[in-house]
Chain A
Amino acid sequence: MKIDIQNVCDKKMVTREDGQIINRILTEHWDKTRKFHIDFGNLLIASVSFIDEAFGKLAMCHTSEDLKQKLVFQNMVPYDRRLLNDILISRLRQQTLETRNACREAKKNGIATA
C-alpha cells in the first residue's frame, strides 16, 4: 500500500492532526497489508508531533521487527529519518505489557491507536 504524505495531508506542512490521519490509515490496514510504502516527497517535516502521532504510536504496540517488516519510508530527508528513528526508539523503550494490552483493547473496540 502506498501512502503519499503530501497527498494525504493535502498541503506542504503537516500537523499533529495530519499525523493522526496517517496513523488511522496504518492502523486500519495493518493486519491485511504486507508493506506500507510511505512517501515523504523529500518534504522537510521536522515535526515531533506529526511523526510521533503517525508512527510513534505504532511503536507503543508493535516490535521493531514488525515495524521494519511493514514500513518502508521513501524520499525522506536525512533530518526526518533521524527524527523518526529517535522517536521510534524512544517509544519502543516505553512499550510495556500494559501499553500492548491497551492497543489490543483499542483495536477490538475499533479505536485507532495502532
Chain B
Amino acid sequence: MVLKYPSHIVVATSNRVLSYSQTARQTQDDKIIFDLSKTHFLTPFGIVLLAGTISECLSQNKKVQYGPPENEETKNFLSGIGFHEFFHLPLKKQKIENSHVQLRRLTSIDYLLTQQIVEVFDNAITMSEGLQGSLTMAINEIMTNAFDHSESEKGCYVCAQAYTNLIRLCVADFGVGLYAKLSPKYSDQIQDSYGAIKLAIKDGVTTREFGGLGLGWIKRLIKVNGGQMSILSGDGKAVWDFRGSRTRLKKQTMSLPFTGTIINLEINKDKETLYFLIDQEGQIF
C-alpha cells in the first residue's frame, strides 16, 4: 500500500491525512509506503500524526518504507526535529533553529518537556509571564488528559513549533477516543464523536470522580488569546477559531473515524495579557 501525502499536512487537510492514518493502521497489507515526496509543509499536527501512525504500523510488524520530501528544506526540517532519528532512518541529522522542539513520544507526564518547550519558545520569541504560564498550563493539562483518559498503550506524541508571532502545539494519542471514553457515563448527552468533543470541554465533565476543568480552561486561554483550538477524535472534528472578530465553531465529520484524540493549538505571541477573566471584585485571594 502506498500512501501519497499531500503538499501540506496541516489541520485543514485532516480529513485526508487522518483517513491515511486509519487506513495504514487497519490494513491487512504487510507493507506500507509513506510517500512524503510531494510534501513541503508540515505543522506539529502532521508530524505527530505521521510519527504515531508509523509507530503503530511498526508495532503491528508491518514493513514500513518512507519516501522523504523532495523539498530539501522540509527534509532537513524533519531531520532537525528528530523525525528520521525517531525511526532509525539513515538520514543525517540536521541542525535547525532553536524555535523548534524535538518530536517526543511520552509514556508518562513529562513536566521537564513542558519547561523545555516554554524555554525554547521564550528564547525564540520572548513571551510574557502570562503567556508562559498559560502555555505551561495548556501543555500540562493536555498531557494529563492524554494519560488520564486515552488508555493509549503507547502514550502520546508531542510536537511544538514557534513562528514569528505564533506557537503551534499538537498532542496526539492513539487511544480509545473521547466518545468511547465519555459515552458510558454521559450516554444521555452525546450521540457522536463531535458531541463528545464539545462535552469534553465543558467544566466538570470527567470520567474521574472529580476534575474536568482542564480543556475548558485551555479554550478560555485560546479565546482571550485570539487563537485557534482543534480537537479531532473518532469521526468528529471541532475547531474553535477566535482569530477574527467573530468566533466560529466549525464542525466537520471525518470520512474514516480516527481511533484516538488529537489536540492542536495555535497561540498568538502576546506580551501583555494574563489569560484569566474573572471579575477582579470577585477575587477571593
Interface residues of A (CB under 8 A from B): 13, 15-16, 44, 46-49, 52-53, 56-57, 64, 67-68, 71, 73, 77-90, 94, 113
Contact indicator A53/B210 (Cβ below 8 Å): yes
Contact indicator B130/A89 (Cβ below 8 Å): no
Contact indicator A82/B274 (Cβ below 8 Å): yes
List 13 A–B pairs whose Cβ atoms lie within 8 Å, in order of A's numbering.
A44-B136, A48-B141, A49-B214, A52-B213, A67-B284, A79-B129, A79-B133, A85-B282, A85-B284, A85-B285, A86-B217, A88-B284, A89-B278
**Is B74 on the interface with A (CB-CB < 8 A)?**
no
Q: Interface residue count for B (Cβ, 8 Å)?
A: 29
Contact indicator A47/B129 (Cβ below 8 Å): no
Contact indicator B276/A82 (Cβ below 8 Å): yes
Closest A residue to B214 using CB positions:
A48
**Is B22 on the interface with A (CB-CB < 8 A)?**
no
Checking B111, B211, B285 against A84 with a beta-carbon cut-off of 8 angstroms, the contacting residue is B285
Contact indicator A16/B211 (Cβ below 8 Å): yes
**Is B203 on the interface with A (CB-CB < 8 A)?**
yes
- Rounded to whole angstroms, the CA-CA distance of A84 and B217 in the bound complex is 12
- Rounded to whole angstroms, the CA-CA distance of A15 and B284 in the bound complex is 24
Q: How many A-B residue pairs have CB under 8 A?
A: 84
How near does chain B come to A45, taking the closest CB pair, in angstroms? 9
Residues A85 and B283 in contact in the complex (CB < 8 Å), given A13-B111, A48-B141, A78-B274: yes
**Is B99 on the interface with A (CB-CB < 8 A)?**
no
Interface residues of B (CB under 8 A from A): 109, 111-112, 129-130, 132-134, 136-137, 140-141, 144, 148, 203-204, 210-211, 213-214, 217, 274, 276-278, 282-285
Secondary structure dominating the interface of B? helix
- Rounded to whole angstroms, the CA-CA distance of A67 and B283 in the bound complex is 12
How near does chain A come to B97, taking the closest CB pair, in angstroms? 26
Residues A49 and B285 in contact in the complex (CB < 8 Å), given A44-B133, A82-B276, A85-B278: no
Residues A53 and B130 in contact in the complex (CB < 8 Å), given A44-B136, A46-B136, A82-B274: no
Secondary structure dominating the interface of A? helix
Checking A15, A44, A47, A68 against B285 with a beta-carbon cut-off of 8 angstroms, the contacting residue is A68
Contact indicator A89/B141 (Cβ below 8 Å): no
- Rounded to whole angstroms, the CA-CA distance of A15 and B144 in the bound complex is 9
- Rounded to whole angstroms, the CA-CA distance of A15 and B143 in the bound complex is 11
- Rounded to whole angstroms, the CA-CA distance of A46 and B132 in the bound complex is 9
Residues of A within 8 A of B283 (CB): 85
How near does chain B come to A29, taking the closest CB pair, in angstroms? 19
Closest A residue to B210 using CB positions:
A57
How near does chain A come to B133, taking the closest CB pair, in angstroms? 3
Residues of A within 8 A of B203 (CB): 90, 94
Residues of A within 8 A of B284 (CB): 64, 67-68, 85, 88-89
How near does chain B come to A59, taking the closest CB pair, in angstroms? 9
Contact indicator B204/A52 (Cβ below 8 Å): no
Contact indicator A49/B140 (Cβ below 8 Å): yes
Contact indicator B276/A85 (Cβ below 8 Å): yes
How near does chain B come to A27, taking the closest CB pair, in angstroms? 13
Residues of A within 8 A of B214 (CB): 48-49
- Rounded to whole angstroms, the CA-CA distance of A51 and B97 in the bound complex is 35
Checking A44, A47, A64, A78 against B141 with a beta-carbon cut-off of 8 angstroms, the contacting residue is A47
Contact indicator A83/B276 (Cβ below 8 Å): yes
